[in-house]
Structures are given as C-alpha cells and as structure tokens.
Amino acid sequence: MGNLDFAFVGTGNAFAPGGLCWNGFVADGRYLFEAPPQALQSLNRMGIDANELEAIILSHHHGDHFLGLPFLLLHWKYFGRSRPATIVGPPGTQELAVAIGRSVYPGLFDIVYELRWVELADGESAQVGDLRLTAQRVEHDARLSLNLGYQCELRGRVFAYTGDTGFCEAILEMARTSEVLVAECSSVDEHVPIHLNLIEDIPRLRDVMAPEAHLILTHLTPAVSAATLRNTTIARDLEHYRI
C-alpha cells in the first residue's frame, strides 16, 4: 500500500502565532487540504508543483483556510494547467470562491481546463482520483454554512482530518478508525469551545486510537512538546511526514 506522505504548507491558526504560516497540508503530493493565504508560496518553497494538485479540499470558509484559493486559481490559469481540477468543500463553496475570485482577479475563471466543484453535506462522500472522502460535521463556527472534517481512504490507507473543531463525537470516530489523524489543536490548556487543547482534549483522542496509529497536531507553536503522547507529532511549517 505504501507510505502516506503529508507535506505541511503551514501549521498556524488565524493569528499566525510566532510567525507560523496558516494551516494546510498536501497528502500524497496531489491533494491539498485547505487553501491558506500563503499556500502557493509554501508549495513553491517546498518544490511542489501546484499544477500537479488534483484537488483542493476545504473544511470551512474562514479566511485562514480559504483565502489562498484565488492565488492557486491564478497560477492554474497563467502557468499552463490543462488537466482537470476539483475543489471540495461545504455548501456555498463555489458561490463564495467565484465571488471573491472575480472581484480580486477579473477573468480568473476564463480557463481552458475543467474545474469541478463538489459540495458535501454531513455524511456525504466523494471520489477524487485515488482519494475517497467522507465529510463529517464538526463543531466550530455555527455562523458558517457547515464545518467539516474528513475521513479519507487513499490507496488502501485510512487517515482523517478534523478541520477546526471543538471536542465532539465526530472526531472521536475519526480517531477510532484512522491509521493517521491530523488534528487541529489551538492551545495548550485554554478552554475555547470551538477548538481543541493539548492538555485535556488531545489525550482523549489519543486514547481511542489504535496503539500503532499516528496523531499529527497542527496550530501549535514549536515550543510546545507532545512527548508524553504515544506516536504523536507536532507538525512544523514546510515539513514532510511519511507514515
């Protein structure tokens, strides 16, 4: 089945603590989860060709997860993309992306390649290339159309991504069934209902995971350690993790 490869274009939250880039990662070199504002810059720094991306998968519509999309579309338009591309997200993704894109770069959607939009509700699934996605509603910002995490299967390997969320049953189910779980963790011990913390929430996730499963945390600064948790890594900007 081969290794799973996760390349983090950024690991920070909306406030870019300590100068971190905003959160997002590429799975298997082809599937970008989130479109943070600096995504194209980070892809270029990591030597990942944006034209090789098959899909962009968005968890919700907050700016630190979404506002890099116009730059990626701009690259695709002017740097020779010809193969189809897919953008996956919650309801309203296409409408929002087109409104922003046309406002900041007129003509952005005058393109020669096929651009496919897939909007998923809770429990719905989609196949994008080798990647099978199932959307799970998580607890984040109720003012948005929907906040999603994703359960994923890729070449026989199973992983999941929580997106931004407070503690809820959906992420426990992801933890139980995944070989690798990429989880948002925005603080060490602060209690924020729409986010996870390291002291109380993350150990509860780790406890329901299989002993050999891997947990990768984002949104935490490099000064924080997860050494007391089994098979747990705090992701760093522009780093690859092969599992």
User: Please, which pLDDT band fits residue 20 given cuts at 50, 70 and 90?
Assistant: very high
Q: What is the dihedral of CA 225, 231, 232, 234, to 10 degrees?
A: 80
Q: Which pLDDT belongs to residue 221?
A: 76
- For the record, the structure tokens of 210 come out as 């299989």
Tell me the per-residue pLDDT of 61-100, one tens digit each, with 9 for 90 and over.
Answer: 999 999 999 999 999 999 999 999 999 999 999 999 999 9
Which residue matches tokens 């993704």?
A: 93
| CA–CA distance, 114 with 111 (Å, rounded to integer) | 8
User: Please, which pLDDT band fits residue 227 given cuts at 50, 70 and 90?
Assistant: confident
> Which residues on adjacent β-strands are paired with residue 161?
150, 182
Q: Which pLDDT belongs to residue 226?
A: 85
Q: Which amino acid is at 83?
A: R
Phi, psi of 143 (to 5 degrees): -80, -15
> Which residues on adjacent β-strands are paired with residue 160?
151, 181
| CA–CA distance, 214 with 145 (Å, rounded to integer) | 31
- For the record, the structure tokens of 48 come out as 């990942």
Which domains, and CATH codes, for the chain? Answer: 5-242 (3.60.15.10)
Q: How large is the average pLDDT for residues 193-200? A: 94
Q: Which amino acid is at 206?
A: R
Q: How large is the average pLDDT for residues 140-149? A: 98
Which residue matches tokens 């100068």?
A: 19
**Can you list the positions of beta strands (E) in the chain?**
5-10, 24-27, 31-33, 55-57, 85-89, 115-119, 125-128, 131-137, 148-154, 157-161, 180-184, 214-218, 232-234, 240-242
Q: Does residue 236 have a pLDDT over 90? A: yes
